[in-house]
Chains A and B, each alone.
Chain A
Amino acid sequence: MSGAPTFEPQSAPAKWLESRLPIMGLVHSSFVAFPTPKNLNYWWTFGGILMFCLITQIITGIILVMHFTPHVDFAFASVEHIMRDVNYGWLIRYIHANGASMFFIAVYIHMFRGLYYGSYKEPRELLWILGVVIYLLMMAAAFFGYVIVWGQMSFWGATVITNLFGAIPLIGDPLLSLLWGGFAVDNPTLNRFFSLHYLVPFLIFGVVILHIWALHVPGNNNPAGIDVKGEQDTVPFHPYYTAKDLFAIVVFMIFFAAFVFYMPNALGEPDNYIEANRLSTPEHIVPEWYLLPFYAILRSIPDKLLGVIAMGIAIFVLFIVPWLDTSKVRSARFRPLYKQFFWLFVADCLLLGYIGAKPAEGAYLLIGRFATAYYFIHFFVIMPILGLIETPKPLPESISKAVLDKKGGGGGASEGAAASADKSA
């Protein structure tokens, strides 16, 4: 972007390298000099936190593979071997298993941040779509990883999820034997899921690069949701945001460590410490917590195919959010109605998650149906209509004006900025 100082290599080796592969310049312009809006709050640190999560999963995963055996007769035992025999195996596995949950906590915050501040809107549609692709790949990675442990939940989770594809008319059955490599979830399934579990994180890595590339064309959105007007609205990424991101990562690591060291199995299912048994389904099968809302949607529809379709739409609707939201204003700070519906939607997702963990009967089923209906109403009715009928609050003239007004007013976040923008208008 304009105004950013370009990279000048100083030493002879640096000059030699840079004239052949300008990689230092790329890093410099992307992560050092990159002009970043100066009003980003802590919700913007989750991108860095996600990068930390991905690298953690890859490093711990590669180590786990050195001790893991992908075979139905040995997989479960080899995970126990990691826990009991391998030096610090318990630590590495607990980091990896809890790391998946941390990854999802971070990605959900990151996504809701986007929904709140309208970060998916023009010109960042593709950036958002690449994010949804990463989210889908993360779900695949976590699912494959959970299956290869070969506990009871692994096996029955794999059975239920793969059977979802069997609901597709005509191609359902051939597709199932293609997925399983047999007549049921079995050794061939374990082997191919292991192969894919190793592959998908690297695909994620590739899409993350595209995601950041697509971010660096329009630059960051910001809490005010207005465009950067010039240099006075930005600060260089380093040291301002490298320091802020690093601080957030350290706080996140404390939270992460609390799980790893004090409640390593709090987010897991005890049934997964029982080896897979194809002749008996556990009384109560549930997916990992991060998939529960979608599971609740699946179960709230009493028809197999329609349930699968509803669940698919619930996920894929995220791709078209940029076009479902008709508002010209990005940030919910200046959208009094959307702000309320946003929090209602967050509550609805949490409710769906709660229902997904409960048996599908009685009151739970009923509440689940209402919550499912509201999920779709939010995207297909509220989002498009709100943009047309809502009167947004006046926007600040510029990012630096919003920041300075906020300083002068001594707090009073959005209201202060909006009110003074009012006065000056």
Chain B
Amino acid sequence: MATDHAEEPTRRDFLYIATGAVGAVGAAALAWPFIDQLNPDASVLALASIEVDLSTIDEGGAVTVTWRGKPVFIRHRTEAEIEAAKTVDISELRDPQTDAERVKRPEWLVMLGICTHLGCVPLGEKGEYDGWFCPCHGSHYDTSGRIRKGPAPLNLEVPEYAFIEDNRIKIG
């Protein structure tokens, strides 16, 4: 055997390897459609943005709308809540972010109502920081939706949105 290995590769060896390589590339290329079909399809992606009228939400009130199949919390914050959110010492936060980085206008807090732990919907005006509390495994969020206590690693996510009128936003 040892002497066999020392011999020059033959034309047949080359053909074997080349055939195998072409076959492997072909199999990989064919596998992709079978995997990619699992990804979000065109009809799911088409529902990508919504508009919400804010004029009906009084101070201290909140609504939950659905965007891309996910709940979005829109909260008209009170002065006290804004104050509480602003005066937090950033350095003691798990996911440091100022309140200003999380809002476009301080009275409107817009964020995904999805706990960053394992995806439950937190309950409003609950928890040790009077923001949100997730009942699933006990995550507490403050009045800016930042994670303060519990297993969740990140603040509630702020989606991409814009004020298209004074009292109207477009999410997505």
Q: Which residues of A contact B (CB under 8 A)?
A: 156, 159-160, 162-164, 166, 177-186, 188, 192, 278-285, 299, 302-304, 307, 359-361
Q: Which residue of B lies closest to A176 (CB)?
A: B119
Contact B70 A183 (CB under 8 A): yes
Contact B119 A280 (CB under 8 A): no
CA of A338 to CA of B61, assembled, Å? 61
Contact A156 B44 (CB under 8 A): no
Question: What distance in Å separates the Cβ of A383 from its nearest Cβ neighbour in chain B?
Answer: 30
Query: Which residues of chain A are within 8 angstroms of B44 by Cβ–Cβ distance?
Result: 181-183, 186, 188
Is B97 on the interface with A (CB-CB < 8 A)? no
Which among B4-12, B32-40, B163-171 touches the partner chain?
A: B32-40
Instruction: Provide a sorted-by-A list of 5 A–B residue pairs whose CB atoms are within 8 angstroms.
Output: A156-B120, A166-B119, A182-B69, A186-B44, A281-B135
Contact B137 A279 (CB under 8 A): no
Is B153 on the interface with A (CB-CB < 8 A)? yes
CA of A359 to CA of B150, assembled, Å? 13
Query: Which residues of chain B are within 8 angstroms of A179 by Cβ–Cβ distance?
Result: 38
Contact B136 A184 (CB under 8 A): no
Interface pairs A-B: 9 shortest CB-CB = A163-B118, A183-B68, A281-B120, A163-B119, A184-B69, A160-B118, A159-B119, A281-B121, A182-B44
Contact A177-B120, Cβ < 8 Å, known A278-B69, A299-B137, A304-B153? no
CA of A156 to CA of B134, assembled, Å? 13
Is B49 on the interface with A (CB-CB < 8 A)? no
Query: Which residues of chain A are within 8 angstroms of B138 by Cβ–Cβ distance?
Result: 359-361
Query: Which residues of chain A are within 8 angstroms of B119 by Cβ–Cβ distance?
Result: 159-160, 162-163, 166, 184
Contact A184 B70 (CB under 8 A): yes
- Dominant secondary structure at the B interface: loop
Question: What distance in Å separates the Cβ of A291 from its nearest Cβ neighbour in chain B?
Answer: 14
Q: Which residues of B contact A (CB under 8 A)?
A: 35, 38-41, 44, 64, 66, 68-71, 113-114, 117-121, 134-138, 150-153
CA of A183 to CA of B117, assembled, Å? 16
Q: Which residue of A lies closest to B123 (CB)?
A: A281
Contact A181 B137 (CB under 8 A): no
Contact B135 A307 (CB under 8 A): no
Query: Which residues of chain B are within 8 angstroms of A361 by Cβ–Cβ distance?
Result: 138
CA of A302 to CA of B117, assembled, Å? 10
Question: What distance in Å separates the Cβ of A352 from its nearest Cβ neighbour in chain B?
Answer: 16
Q: Which residue of A lies closest to B48 (CB)?
A: A183
Query: Which residues of chain A are within 8 angstroms of B69 by Cβ–Cβ distance?
Result: 182-186, 278
Contact A159-B38, Cβ < 8 Å, known A183-B44, A278-B66, A279-B66? no
Query: Which residues of chain A are within 8 angstroms of B114 by Cβ–Cβ distance?
Result: 184
Contact B39 A178 (CB under 8 A): yes
Question: What distance in Å separates the Cβ of A311 from its nearest Cβ neighbour in chain B?
Answer: 12
CA of A184 to CA of B68, assembled, Å? 8
Contact A159 B118 (CB under 8 A): yes
Query: Which residues of chain A are within 8 angstroms of B120 by Cβ–Cβ distance?
Result: 156, 159-160, 281, 285
Contact A181 B121 (CB under 8 A): no
Q: Which residue of A lies closest to B114 (CB)?
A: A184
Q: Which residue of B lies closest to A179 (CB)?
A: B38
Query: Which residues of chain A are within 8 angstroms of B113 by Cβ–Cβ distance?
Result: 279
Q: Which residue of B lies closest to A286 (CB)?
A: B136
Contact B41 A181 (CB under 8 A): yes
